[in-house]
Amino acid sequence: MEKRYRLNNGRAIRLVEGDITRIAADAIANAANSALAGGGGVDGAIHRAGGAEIMRELDEMRPRVGRVPAGQAVATGAGRLPAQYVFHAVGPVYRDGRHGEPEALASCYRVCLEMAEERGCRTVSFPAISTGVYGYPAEEAARIALREVRGFLESRAAGVQEVIFVQFGEAAYRVYERLLGESGLKEAQD
């Protein structure tokens, strides 16, 4: 399943159900842990598909950066992935939504988009950061992701042209599809 929504300035948000490691983009956001040590879910899939060179870069970086706080990200090459970069974003572990989780999650998206701008990326793909083992409620997380991405795309003069939300499974896809429909964005017919 796939839909594209066009903003008034010509930029786009694309929604795809599938495997983020198979979707071509200039940069892929990864739902990483603060130790940058690899893991399960999206993180594990990205490392398996991208190859050992991604972890080698993180191993070299780790002594300099230490633990990455929630809401921040680091960049590596993308190895064998259909991208140039991987942005390893550390999402918050959800407690109750009143301990800085919304702000940290919003920061993940902003930081990755800023990193994409700095590197001249035109397309960026995102998973549903923090909604797996970190327990962030899917709809709340999707609202934050869509708000941050749309705000970024509407406020910039150049650079990132398309953001791709890649959802693993139909249920996650349907949450984003419903929220995009409610947002007033029209589905593109191109």
Give the HSE-up count for residue 91: Cα atoms under 13 Å, Cβ half-sphere: 29
Structural domains in the chain?
2-187 (3.40.220.10)
Active site residue 43: yes
Task: Read off the amino acid at residue 169.
Answer: G
pLDDT in tens, 37-95: 988 899 999 999 999 999 999 999 999 999 999 999 999 999 999 999 999 999 999 99
Residue 121 near residue 135 (C-beta atoms within 8 A): no
Q: List pLDDT tens digits, range 56-71.
A: 999 999 999 999 999 9
Annotated active-site residue in 26, 43, 96, 190: 43
